[in-house]
Structure 1
Amino acid sequence: TMHIASLKLLLSFLILSLAARPYIIVLSEEDLKESTISCDESPDWDEFVDFDSPHKSEDELDPGSWHSLFDPASSSATGSSDTSSELEALYISGVSKMISASSSGDARLMQEAAAEIEAAACEGHPHSRSVLGFLHGMGMMSERNKAKAFLYHHFAAEGGNMQSKMALAYSYSLQEMYENSTKLYAE
């Protein structure tokens, strides 16, 4: 039996080796020498890096990030109005409940989360609109509706939500509306 098992193992390796493609890398002696780049020459990627610009915080780059859910100490106070703070608190509460509901499988908690997020979205909170766009696009908590998802993402993108801008840009690229797509990707 040990002989048969060895034969099967050898046969499986033979089959795998037939399916694999051989790769040959040809290196010259010049390729192996360590090349030095002078200060005047810059690598291609270097032209896109702007070292003079100030470093932006995560909140500036993505104000709708869920970072504050996972690290509450890192969230900074922005000098925003009380209404904006209330909407942000409602959004954070809804997303927190949504994550808990997803982990526990609690449908009632997920409905509460969706209601809180929808309430914030109705008041104009762009990040809540983005989450609703995601929920409608995926068919979670409601029937899948791509038109509503697009609409929510559109208004969230106008409000500055980066995820919705990327979702719209992708949608535009699928529809071969490359000018719109490029404009959103550039932002």
Structure 2
Amino acid sequence: MKNILISALAFAALSVSFVADAAKYKIDIKGAHAFINFKASHLGYSWLTGRFNEFDGEFDFDPNNINASKITVDINPASIDSNHAERDKHLRSEDFLSVDKFPKSKFVSTKITDLGDNKLKVEGNFTLHGVTKPIVIDAVKIGEGKDPWGGYRAGFSGTTTINVADYDFKSAWVGNVELELHIEGIRQ
């Protein structure tokens, strides 16, 4: 009887440990520990780079069951910042993002696959300019652990390429745009 009780307590402790590892994280935008950057060819002569300054999101992460993880990111396309006010005004216009008509952009994961060695394949639906298309983000888990303020954090980085023409832009001559994400979340 004593062995059965010890086995049951050990199983319960393992179960609690497993559940404790699965957690919800809020993307740390207040501490500016998250970034969504972009890079696009400018007429084939140089690179235009920039970022989106306003976004928010959350993710569920379970290191013991990565396939059960998920992420949602909401982006304000009007927050585009290419370090040039006139260009940003044009990018917000009807020629490109049409931010008055499409004030939100969103990514919602549909499947996360553990590729080993902290590499992940994040599949999901990306909505931009009122069009939703499936994309794949090649991601890497950077790390996780306690922070100096008594919290717990996990960080990831990822890249994907989208074709602007797929999103019904009026001026689709830009072609492919590379998106680079650096996400650090605070466990809730």
Higher-helix-fraction structure = 1
Q: Structure 2-normalised TM-score?
A: 0.22
Q: Structure 1-normalised TM-score?
A: 0.22
Which protein, 1 or 2, shows the higher relative CO under an 8 Å CA cutoff with sep ≥ 6?
Answer: 2
Higher-strand-fraction structure = 2
Greater gyration radius? 1
